[in-house]
Amino acid sequence: MKFTVAIDGPAAAGKGTIARAVAAEFGFAHLDTGLLYRAVGVKALERAGGVIDPIAAELIAGSLTEADLKRADLRTTLASRAASKVAAIPGVRAALLRFQHDFARRDGGAVLDGRDIGSVICPDAEVKLFVTADDARRAQRRHRELAAAGSELTVAQVLADLKARDARDSRRKDAPLTRAPDAVLLDTTELSIDCAVAEATALIRARIEQGRD
């Protein structure tokens, strides 16, 4: 069975947690597409001594492997900022497009989460979700994650970083962060993760059953 679930939204809204949960529920493969850009960004910084060279980033994107997605440093603030920068490079996005397309239509079903899955990568996905939450709640969530990893950033600093990334992702010319017209909005500001997962699961199950009729 080929069945694609596209989950988009800004950082720390809960889309990754929801994506992993629904993938486990239905036995679908899961791809956090943000890791692709984080891996390219980190490798580009390493190759160019702390700056991102667009040409080098394109070459790295074209040769990225699944092993690169298992690096331990892909969840850092540095990797997040680098990901947003390389994602604005058209050649990087083009190089990673086939990887994502192939993953999305694999047998057995797939869940992809990112920022342009429903709008650009998988416009024909059987289910599209746009997961969001207000800025303050997202900053609190990300701050807890970073603090657990040893970060000393304040909530205010995390909030400023999230807003800067949202601006970059929403204003870039190529595949900006946006809600696809047919994506279901899931606002997690006041939702527990269990409730958010339950809503997403119910929607996906209904679509699967509809496809069997």
15 is in an annotated binding site: yes
- CB count, 10 Å around CB of 73? 10
Query: Which residue reads 């984080």 in tokens?
Result: 38
Closest CA to 10 of 174, 148, 189, 152: 189
Q: Is residue 156 within a helix (H) or strand (E), and if so which, with residue range?
A: helix 155-171
118 is in an annotated binding site: no
13 is in an annotated binding site: yes
9 is in an annotated binding site: yes
16 is in an annotated binding site: yes
14 is in an annotated binding site: yes
21 is in an annotated binding site: no
The phi and psi torsions of 83 (rounded to 5 degrees) equal -60, -45
Rounded to an integer, what distance in angstroms lies between the CA atom of residue 22 and that of residue 26?
6
Question: What are the respective helix, strand and coil percentages of the chain, to the nearest 5?
Answer: 55, 10, 30
139 is in an annotated binding site: no
As annotated, the binding site includes 9-17
As annotated, the binding site for ATP includes 9-17
